[in-house]
Amino acid sequence: MKKSVLVIALAFGVTGAFAQDLTSKKGEPMLPEAEDWAISMNADPIFNFIGNAFNGNTSNGAPGVNWMNGNQTIIGKKFIDEKNAYRVLVRLGFTNQTYKNMVSDDANITTPVFPATSPMVEDKFKMRNTTIGIGAGKEMRRGKTRLQGYYGADAMIWISSSANKYEYGNTMTGNPTAAGQTATPTSTTWNASTGAVTGTPNNTSRMLSTKSGMTFGIGVRGFIGAEYFIFPKIAIGAEYGWGIGFQTSGKGKSVVETTGGVGTPTTGEVEAETSGSSKFGFDTDLNQGTIFGFKGSNTGTASLRATFHF
């Protein structure tokens, strides 16, 4: 009888030990439950900061925060129960940037007397980008301890476009008839990707605007990953995926200001059409980043990530 009681007590003790492993000292559950929400972020900066804290460098910066898959993609989860969750992927990006630069005023024909300086005019470069992505998926989980495996699939669609506009302080004149007029005005040359000034030459032609064709993409992706819950509802994990994606971009347009014509030169705007493109891929995430434009080039690197449930 004593042996039976001892065995029963031991069994309850072991069961209690495992139960306690899935709750905190305050009784908080470690794992996600039904109706929980979750959001993930890249945990690499945190671990880099912790590692750098022991390398003797006094100039270590604080960790930054990035969304899990780069390119500002937000991924959230809604748990149906402790083993199943819906996933939502959203990216809404609208950027309008204006860059300015001062150049010499070509209309000035006088030499300034010190300490006066030569008059200047302003050039502008406006950059606009739009990216919209929406995705949805289903996640299923396995495991009865803090270590949880999961798998599932996501479906995604995305669109994007961009446009640049250039404005100049100096006027381009095809047939100069007065002092200060010129067919080769001093104008800023811009880096169309970064907005940086690359020079201020006397241009014979200069860009007025560019517009990309609309890009549309669609993709389906399967994924598998694992998480370990280090604190109640806080997990560290990694995810890999394999999918198929397709995107197509329409034709774009550029407008250039230049001089030309038969006889007396005139100033005009020359329009040119740029060709479209398409991409198709079936591969692991690591090699699929350029296909899943919505997901970004960081997709599939399986960086450590932190997931918070609430």
- The C-alpha atoms of residue 284 and residue 239 are separated, in whole angstroms, by 11
Is 26 part of any domain? Answer: no
pLDDT at 301 over 80: no
- Going from the C-alpha of 250 to that of each of 52, 208, 278, the distances in angstroms are 46, 20, 9
pLDDT at 155 over 60: yes
- Which pair of tokens denotes residue 25? 């000292």
pLDDT of residue 65: 43
Q: Which of 11-15, 120-124, 181-185, 231-235 has the lowest mean pLDDT?
A: 11-15
Please provide the size of the chain in residues.
Answer: 310
pLDDT, tens digit (0-9, with 9 covering 90-100), for 197-245: 999 998 889 999 999 999 998 888 888 999 999 999 999 988 888 888 8
Own/partner long-range contacts of 184-191 (Cβ < 8 Å, ≥24 apart): 185/106, 186/103, 186/104, 186/106, 187/103, 187/123, 188/101, 188/103, 188/123, 188/125, 190/99, 190/125, 190/166
Residue identified by tokens 């996600």 is: 32
- Going from the C-alpha of 152 to that of each of 10, 22, 224, the distances in angstroms are 39, 24, 7
Is 69 part of any domain? Answer: yes
pLDDT, tens digit (0-9, with 9 covering 90-100), for 273-300: 999 988 887 877 654 444 444 444 344 4
Q: What angle do CA 9, 11, 12 make, to 5 degrees?
A: 65
Region 74-100: mean pLDDT is 90
pLDDT of residue 108: 86
Query: Which among 225, 272, 232 is positioned nearest to 252, based on CA atoms?
Result: 272
- The C-alpha atoms of residue 78 and residue 34 are separated, in whole angstroms, by 8
Structural domain count, the chain: 1
Helix count and strand count (H, E) for the chain: 3, 15
3-state SS string for 66-90: EECCCCCCEEEEEEEECCEEEEEEE
- The C-alpha atoms of residue 248 and residue 279 are separated, in whole angstroms, by 6
Is 9 part of any domain? Answer: no
Is 266 part of any domain? Answer: yes
pLDDT of residue 37: 95
Is 25 part of any domain? Answer: no
List, as one string, the DSSP characters of 169-236: SSPP-SS--STT--SS-B--EE-TTT--EEE--B-SEEEEEEEPPPEEEEEEEEEEEEEEEEETTEEE
| Burial label, 5 (beta-carbon count in 10 A; 0-12, 13-18, 19+) | exposed
Which residues are within 8 A (CB) of 240 and not within 5 positions of it... i.e. 6 or more apart?
A: 223, 224, 225, 284, 285, 286, 300, 302
pLDDT of residue 283: 76
Question: The pTM is what?
Answer: 0.71
Residue of higher predicted confidence among 281 and 304? 281
Is 241 part of any domain? Answer: yes
pLDDT at 98 over 90: yes
pLDDT at 175 over 90: no
Print the domain residue range for 262.
33-309
Provide the percentage of residues in the chain whose pLDDT is more than 90: 40
Is 274 part of any domain? Answer: yes
CA 229 to chain centre: 28
Is 257 part of any domain? Answer: yes
Provide the percentage of residues in the chain whose pLDDT is more than 70: 77
- Which pair of tokens denotes residue 23? 């709750």
